Amino acid sequence: MPSFSTQRHVRFTAEQMYALVADVEKYPEFLPLCTGLVVLSRRPQGGGEELTARMSVGYKTIAESFTTRVVTDPSQRRIDVSYLDGPFKRLDNRWQFTDDATGSVADFYIDYEFRSKLLGVLMGSMFDQAFRRFTQAFEDRAAKIYGAAEPTTAPGV
């Protein structure tokens, strides 16, 4: 039952980082292993949205797709992802962003288990490495979108 959790300081605001993670359609442009993403449905929920999204992932000759429910909460700068269908037995993912004096803290958590032990052996270490690079991929994306020159000071800090 692999899981991974990290808290990482980034020099962008919580609002900026939240916006990047909530923009799921852009994932294939920069996220490790993500080869495609289609939003199947979208509806307002509270101040955010609830999405159903199908992500395609691949590496060399291995390709899989899975469907998740994504709930965004801009007031808490939190994104929760739960598994609906695909090669996993379970998949839970959470992002939370909190401003600090020189940017924000990105809190990333994922817990997953493949349905098939064989697929777990084939893809497990690849997924583990990719998940460990997710926060860096989003930080690199933030530098590309928001600029890399100066650290951002969080509003009201």
Instruction: Give me 131's structure tokens.
Output: 């998940």
Candidates 3.30.530.20, 3.40.120.10, 1.10.599.10, 1.10.10.10; correct CATH number of 3-146? 3.30.530.20
Residue 82: band (very low, low, confident or very high) from pLDDT cuts 50, 70, 90: very high
Residue 155: the pLDDT is 52
pLDDT, tens digit (0-9, with 9 covering 90-100), for 23-81: 999 999 999 889 999 999 999 999 999 999 999 988 788 788 999 999 999 999 999 99
With contact defined as beta carbons under 8 Å apart, do 92 and 99 qualify? no
Whole-angstrom CA distances from 152 to 8, 44, 100, 102, 136 are: 15, 30, 10, 6, 17
With contact defined as beta carbons under 8 Å apart, do 153 and 101 qualify? yes
pLDDT, tens digit (0-9, with 9 covering 90-100), for 119-139: 777 776 777 777 778 888 999
Total Cβ atoms within 10 A of residue 7: 12
Model confidence at 83: pLDDT above 80: yes
